[in-house]
Structure 1
Amino acid sequence: MGKNKLLLEFKGLPLGSIGLKNALNSSLDDVLVITNENDPLSWIDSTLFSNPYQERWKTIPSKESDKGQSYSIKTGLKEAIKKNADAVIILLADQPLVTSKMIDFLINAYGFEKSKEILGYRNEQVVYPPILFSKKLIPKLMELHGDIGAKKIIANFDKKILYDTEIEKVRDVDTPEDYEAIKKFE
């Protein structure tokens, strides 16, 4: 992007704030915001630093985030292990159209589908966050390295349910073209 995409304005807020606000409005027990070590958090709208929001989330700097997204994932997983989480959901801050209802759908579906260890969304066979992983998969996720997410684990795993969705709902903003594509939903 050539600039901090989380600061781009969308619906009157910094882009990154929308994803965080949607996570906070979901039924997630804890919201962990994994950041670069020196992130000034200027992409987080000031309202999210006040009640009732501020009690629902915390930032955790990832000392190795510059080595790739797997290190950010592992930073969050270490905290989830400390909290003895039953499951984790990996969300991206640059997906402003992922709603709290989509997050809650995964949480509720997991309650009914305990035999499944991955629940998430796909569009035309491509998997997109948010993705819920059961506690049983945390050791496998901790083996990730480099600038890759968990798509390879998901692709090679049988105990999963992937729900079909429109690309607009799970689109992330990585390029100026992506940003222009989501702006039509303002």
Structure 2
Amino acid sequence: MKIAGIYLAAGNSSRMGSNKLALPVGTMTVGSLALETALKSSLDKVYIITKDKDDADWLPAEMKLDAKCSFIKCPTAHHGQSESLRYGIQQAQTDRMDAIIVILADQPFITVQMLEEMIACTKNNQMCRFVATTYEQTIMPPVLFSSSMYNELMELRGDKGAKAILQGDFLQKGKLLPCADKRLVFDVDTEADYEALQLIEKTK
């Protein structure tokens, strides 16, 4: 079973005022932390989706050379997250991936264990159409989708993320993995978030 990560890194950083993925965190950057985790996992490939003019200079050179990495530029990223997702899914279809995990580049504290739990879930139950992280009963990324979901995901438009599909009776077609630690689903959207991230990193 082949599974790819779709690493969404084409956001506008509108609330930050500058490219948040390039902000330093120790010897790393905001955008490199979750990618490092994805590359350590058993994912077969990681598709890094960036804006058209973004050469991913916010990533360390050795990370960009990792054999698992595949960089995809999304010229329509300004139309919303669904555009980036669609570009990733098209590549997953080309590469005949059995499932994808949607990962946000601004979620620095996701763990290898989280990803492996999702991968194990879908390998043990191939009828499962999705595996989603939840915090306090709210669905959060990362989220795994089986290939049976690709067509539905491709129909999303605008800034609707993949979790727009995950509601109502459809929730019975997959598995929810509760996350007890809010930090694991923390995302960096504002200056205050970035300051909090730096404090957490210093106390590790």
TM-score under structure 1 length normalisation = 0.93
Cα distance in 2 between the residues matched to 1:122 and 1:31: 22
Number of the residue aligned with 1:185: 200
Matched, 1:115 2:127: yes
Q: Could you tell me the percent identity over the aligned residues?
A: 37
Shift of 1:180: 2.5
- Aligned residue pairs total 183
Cα distance in 2 between the residues matched to 1:56 and 1:115: 26
Structure 2 residue matching 1:96: 3-state secondary structure: coil
Number of the residue aligned with 1:71: 83
Number of the residue aligned with 1:176: 191
Shift of 1:115: 2.5
Matched, 1:40 2:55: yes
Matched, 1:140 2:152: yes
Cα distance in 2 between the residues matched to 1:177 and 1:114: 41
Q: Which runs of at least 4 in structure 1 moved beyond 3 Å after TM superposition?
A: none
Gaps of 5+ in 1: none
Name which of structure 1's ranges 22-31 and 155-164 shifts more when overlaid on structure 2.
155-164
Amino acid at match of 2:36: K
Q: Deviations over 1:35-91 (max 9, x none)?
A: 1011021111122134xx2x1111000111111000000000000011111111100
Cα distance in 2 between the residues matched to 1:6 and 1:149: 19
- Contact between 1:65 and 1:71, CA under 8 Å: does it hold in 2? yes
Q: Deviations over 1:115-167 (max 9, x none)?
A: 22110211112111110001101100000000110222012322121111122
Number of the residue aligned with 1:159: 173
TM-score under structure 2 length normalisation = 0.85
Q: Deviations over 1:93-131 (max 9, x none)?
A: 111101222111111111112222110211112111110
Cα distance in 1 between the residues matched to 2:26 and 2:176: 29
